[in-house]
Amino acid sequence: MQKIEREELMLLEAYHQQRADFQRRVMAHKANRQVAIGPNATLYFEDRLTVQYQIQEMLRVERIFEAEAIQEELDAYNPLIPEHNNWKATFMIEYEDADERQGALARLVGIEDRVWVQVGEMDQVWSIADEDLERSREAKTSAVHFLRFQFGDDMVAAAIAGGAIAIGIDHPEYRYQTRPLKEPVRDALVADLG
Rounded distance, CA 130 to CA 141, Å? 12
- Asked if residue 115 lies in contact with residue 174, where contact means CB atoms within 8 angstroms, the answer is no
According to the model, what pLDDT value does residue 136 have? 56
User: Which tens digits make up the pLDDT trace of 56-111?
Assistant: 999 999 998 899 999 999 999 999 999 999 999 999 999 999 999 999 999 999 99
Closest CA to 77 of 59, 63, 100: 59
Q: What is the pLDDT of residue 26?
A: 97
State the pLDDT at residue 131: 75
pTM of the predicted protein model: 0.90
Q: Do 179 and 38 form a contact (C-beta atoms < 8 A)?
A: no
Kindly give the parts of the chain with pLDDT less than 50.
none
CA distances from 192 to 34, 53, 94, 117 (A): 14, 17, 26, 15
Q: Which pLDDT does position 133 carry in this prediction?
A: 57
- Distance (Å, whole) CA 108 – CA 90: 17
Asked if 167 and 115 touch (Cβ cutoff 8 Å), the reply is yes
